[in-house]
Structure 1
Amino acid sequence: MIFSFVLPAYKGKYLEQAISSIIAQDYKEFELVVVDDCSPDDIRGIVSGFHDDHISYYLNEDNIGGHDLVAQWNHCLEYAKGDYVVLATDDDLYEPNFLSSFVPLIEKYPEVGLFRARILQVDDQNVVKDIDACYKEYLSPVEFRYHMLHGMRGGIPQYIFKRRTLVEKGGFVNFPKAWASDDATALLMSDCGVVNSQEHLVRFRWSCINISNDRRCGLEKFQARLLFSKWLQEHQVAVGEDEKWKTFYQRTVTEYLPIYNKLTMITTMSMLTCSHWIKSIKELWACDTFSLKDKCSIILRSFQKRIR
């Protein structure tokens, strides 16, 4: 078996659409592993409505994701049998040619551990709200890092991971609420470069029921951003001195990284509730990732954005 879709399921609202988009793949060498995380919704009933041999269903004894979402991701990974893994979600959608578009790319770049599909961002009615940029087919590790820091759209369901490499690296990078875990894991897996599709193959859904729009977990998102800022500083990309254009990317990434970290912290803090914002100041002040000057700047600029 070549591909494994692993789907940690908790929300039932869009699950039928998500599963339908997967089993409609025109390339059929795949499995779909649905792992019910003790959902209050009838996940089993939704899954049993499909009579397809590609699907297997498992029920967790406890609600793992309620305490540690990335632990649930890594738990689901244990069920995968394919050479390549897609961490699907219970609300995003795949185009029918998602897998078939990557088969020739995987054959062309067998050493690469990470493949990335272009995405369309849609709302709860599947109306397109934003379109991912088009990147060249192969990006070196430092090129990928450069684009990640300069506005590349990201989301865990758009990636295809080489399973053995992902497991050897310890699985998905764990941050609170999985916030920035997709970006960190992608960067971790990019040491042999990243291969991109030129077509839009994934529909990434923004809705009122996903974590992206949930302000209740704002403080945990802030904590994840703090951890990710430190993680980025600790995981640099080496470039040979003779590779002049790559050296440009490396220099630019190195110089821009502190600015990127500050901007993401300002944005994250500006969206917090008042009580979470006050708590975030205490945690920011205690961290060693930013200088005193940067901490003051982050606090001031996040406050200014909040009162606009």
Structure 2
Amino acid sequence: MNRRKIPKLIKVVVPLMGFIFLIILMWPFLRPPINRQLLQDIDVLLDDYRHALVTGDITEPSYYSQEMQELIKNRRWFYAEYMNVGLMSELQALTSEFYYQPRKDYSVPALVTVLLDSNSSGTRWDVLRGRSVAVPVDAQIRVLSDDRFSLRVTEMVTVYAKYSVPPEEYPVVLGAHWALERTADPLVAKELREYITSTMNEVRPSFEEGYEIVFILYHHMIVQRTPIGLQIIEDTFTDRDTIFPGVDNVAWVDGNFVRDTSTFTTTAEYLLYHKSVEEIGKNLLKRYTEGW
């Protein structure tokens, strides 16, 4: 009987795959552990950062480089200016919370950790479906040198504001009044009056009671050790995702932060307020006239 010869490539590949799989399984135990004291120090650092952003009071300047201190001031300015210019609103207050959020990480060690760790909030099905998986906190800390490391965290900033324009002066309300004065059709007039009433009812709570907007920011910080503790020297962040281009974006160039402020003038609210009442009125009149 003739024996089928096993190809040489298979003889090499199969043992190699077995070795690689063994390394993958052992990876969570081979990784050097992150110092737990470091995690506690990071928590203190982020809590102070949160407090400085919310209150504007930098009580621990040693926690931040000089440029970072300027960035904190800039962030407070940004939220007030974005609400004022982009959304025609007045900033009332803001809150901030930092999280070691689960994130997408398709590196083999991270996925294997999720699959083997019974305490992980990620599931095997989540991994197979390509959804976000829970990655251990130390997977978001990367040592760059003996005295420097990078830190990836998620921040939720909630901005509380009040609309600064009364419902009666809302652009589409003024435009609807313009259209109402120029139609003789009773059905169109009826629709326009109902439109005015419903729009004012929608806008009024934001003017009288206020509203909130939540920014989900993805941070990449550079932190260094100093003789007196940790210090954030850079913080790159964005609220951009696969669908939303983001409005709160900061990058760093040659040790200085750079912010994109063009988003102030790209909001729907800003564009609406820079249309004439006549233009808005004509569009409404055309819409309701053609509807009949």
Q: TM-score, normalised by structure 1?
A: 0.19
Structure with greater strand percent: 2
Task: Work out which of the two has the higher radius of gyration on C-alpha atoms and give 1 or 2.
Answer: 2
Q: TM-score, normalised by structure 2?
A: 0.20
